[in-house]
Amino acid sequence: MLNAVSILLVDGDAEGEARAFRSLERQGFVRTTSVDFEGGSLVGWRHAEQRAADDDFVRTPFGVACCVGPLWYRGHFGRAALAALLNEVHMSGRLDEGALRGNFALFLSTGDHTWLLNDALGFVRIHASSDGRFFTTSWLAACAYLPTRELDPGSAVEYVLLGAVHSRHSVVRGVSLLPIGHAKDLVRRTSWQRFPDGLVPPSVNFDSLPEALRAVGEHLTTVSKEVATAFPNKINTALSGGFDSRLIVAGLLAAGIRPNLFVYGAPDFPDVAIASAVASSVGLTLETINKAEINRGLCELDIRELELSALFFDGLPSDGIDDPGADRNTRLRQTAEGNIALNGGGGEIFRNFFHLPDRPLSALDLVRTFYRGFSRRAFRDSEGMKSYEARLVSSMRAVLGVQNKFAHNGDLTRFQIELLYPLFRCHYWMSVNNSLAIRHGYYMTPLVDLKLIRLSQRLPLRWKNAGYFESQLISFLHSDIAKQPSAHGFKFSEGPGLSARLSEVATCYRPVGLRPMINATRRRLGKVRVAPTQLKRYRKLLPGEWVVDSFLDLSHLPDNVSLARALALEIVWRRIL
């Protein structure tokens, strides 16, 4: 399979492309495919540790197409899907967005049309250079293309504090993302919105719970069957005590598929006990993976090993690069030998993820509710928090297509607030991990395709509260595993009890203005802070002033994970860029 692509237009910087190629080779990729088209050329890359396969590239009488990541079209997978796409685009000049599934970046050229696009949610990121002449799925390669590199402090703040930049911008100025729901015409040098009515046009709510369960359940079963046809007996999926991994397993079992299950944690972890009970109830084997135990047998990373880790993770992963080896090794194992790894990320589209009441709100309300898990003291500048909030608000409104100016009042409908989970949270945060995963094998988050997002927006909010609808959906798909315990204090077959429902109500109606203070109190009571020993170790590894020191106080970051992200940024800046 292809694990990365790079595209240079004819008047692009050839020296920049050579730098990008060296970056990709340094990351462990080898060139495997080349395509010349009117106006430019494409190079496909495979990771040296990934088995060779030809199911992501096709040349037909109608043109040429290739993809990075798993792609289905009208039920076909791989080469068959790409051939069907070429045929339709050649004949009609369009493709059926509703028939596209998977997490992918897609290039297709029919002569009349040469397009670059990704899945509707942009889960496989396409990075573009500021001159508009270079595109790639590797962020490090996109940075290498630039003749000089300058840090964007606002984006760096978002990466360190949130685990991802939450806008089209990048930590490095001059590198941006293809906007969500857009495609690029590489010959005409234009881009267009693939969904002129919006990714999720407003629609009426379901009339009844059975109608909703049938619609969502049937689609999940269809998706499961498509995955099984493409990967017979080669499906690995995580199982925990939560909703989303159980929902994936329920969908697979409903389609008659028996996946390989694994759970992360020590033998005495609650998730392990719950996953064991679920697997046993349907006669599936379960592998327990204790990352902490694996890492205890490995040494702390030195500078050179941290650099190699950054190259593996394409620079800036959500959890940083200080991984002794367990994270990298388990990722490779789950997609080895042509297996596909399924992940339940994004299943919160069926729940009230932000825990907000059913009324109009502002984007600033959402920022202060969900994106303020740290102290003002983390910022060096007294205006740092205000600038941070304004950036997030602007990005949220851009994703929604809201043109009027910044407002503090409830100018967003509750429908728009719900849309910000898939279109903002998932698009910017989840896509970091999805893009990283497909660099090393087949990976997919099947709970957040375009149709499921549209169906989820037809669910009344009261059904989403406390996980009521998702509990019912798991029971609808497979009653036996719904009867097993969960990490939420109730069996999904029974649904949330009075305690869970009251807790949801209490959380939703906490005043938005008080939530940052509630979070601060929790941090103080829980003594959650950066470990001085970890900060000392990092400073010793990289002495001198760090690139973030001028705008962030590392000692006041919220936790060790955010500090690890600051380390990743410093390693990338000093050792790679």
Mean confidence (pLDDT) of the chain:
94
Residue 158 and residue 299 in one domain: no
Residue 181 and residue 297 in one domain: no
Q: Which amino acid is at 376?
A: R
Residue pLDDT, tens place only, 174-208: 999 999 999 999 999 999 999 998 999 988 999 99
Given a cut of 80, whether residue 527 has pLDDT beyond it is no
In this prediction, residue 513 carries a pLDDT of 80
Q: Could you tell me the pTM of the whole model?
A: 0.96
Give 97-152 as a DSSP string. Answer: GGGEEES-EEEEE-SS-EEEEE-TT--S--EEETTS-EEES-HHHHHHHSSS--B-
Residue 259 and residue 234 in one domain: yes
Helices 363-370 and 384-400 cross at an angle (nearest 10°) of 120
In this prediction, residue 411 carries a pLDDT of 87
- Look up the CATH number of the domain holding residue 87: 3.60.20.10
Q: Rounded to the nearest 5°, which phi and psi values hold at 3?
A: -110, -10
Question: What is the distance between the alpha carbons of residues 554 and 560, in angstroms, rounded to a whole number?
Answer: 10
Residue 143 and residue 233 in one domain: no
Residue 48 and residue 83 in one domain: yes
Q: Does 200 fall in a domain?
A: no
Q: Does 500 fall in a domain?
A: no
Q: Does 499 fall in a domain?
A: no
Residue 270 and residue 368 in one domain: no
Q: Does 506 fall in a domain?
A: no
Given a cut of 80, whether residue 54 has pLDDT beyond it is no
**Final residue of a structural domain among 130, 162, 193:** 193
Q: Rounded to the nearest 5°, which phi and psi values hold at 114?
A: -130, 105
Stretch (H or E) spanning 72: strand 71-73
Residue 272 and residue 392 in one domain: no
Helices 560-571 and 153-162 cross at an angle (nearest 10°) of 140
**Final residue of a structural domain among 193, 221, 252:** 193
* Percent over 70 (pLDDT), the chain: 98
Structural domain for 534, as ranges: 363-412+513-576
Residue 407 and residue 432 in one domain: no
Residue pLDDT, tens place only, 409-458: 678 999 999 999 999 999 999 999 999 999 999 999 999 999 999 999 99
Q: Does 387 fall in a domain?
A: yes
Residue pLDDT, tens place only, 305-329: 999 999 999 999 999 999 999 999 9
Q: What pLDDT band is residue 55 in, cutting at 50, 70 and 90? A: confident
Q: Does 503 fall in a domain?
A: no
Helix (H, G, I), strand (E, B) or coil at 176: strand
Residue 19 and residue 38 in one domain: yes
Residue pLDDT, tens place only, 384-394: 999 999 999 99
Q: Does 502 fall in a domain?
A: no
Residue 60 and residue 143 in one domain: yes
Residue 151 and residue 45 in one domain: yes
Residue pLDDT, tens place only, 226-241: 999 999 999 999 999 9
Residue 35 and residue 91 in one domain: yes
The number of domains in the chain is 3
Torsion over CA: 518, 523, 526, 527 (sign): negative
Stretch (H or E) spanning 330: helix 326-334
**Final residue of a structural domain among 464, 494, 524:** 494
In this prediction, residue 404 carries a pLDDT of 61
Q: Which residues are within 8 A (CB) of 34 and not within 5 positions of it... i.e. 6 or more apart?
A: 41, 42, 43, 44
- Look up the CATH number of the domain holding residue 325: 3.40.50.620
Residue pLDDT, tens place only, 74-119: 999 999 999 999 999 999 999 999 999 999 999 999 989 999 999 9
Q: Does 203 fall in a domain?
A: no
Residue 74: exposure state from Cβ atoms within 10 A (0-12, 13-18, ≥19): middle
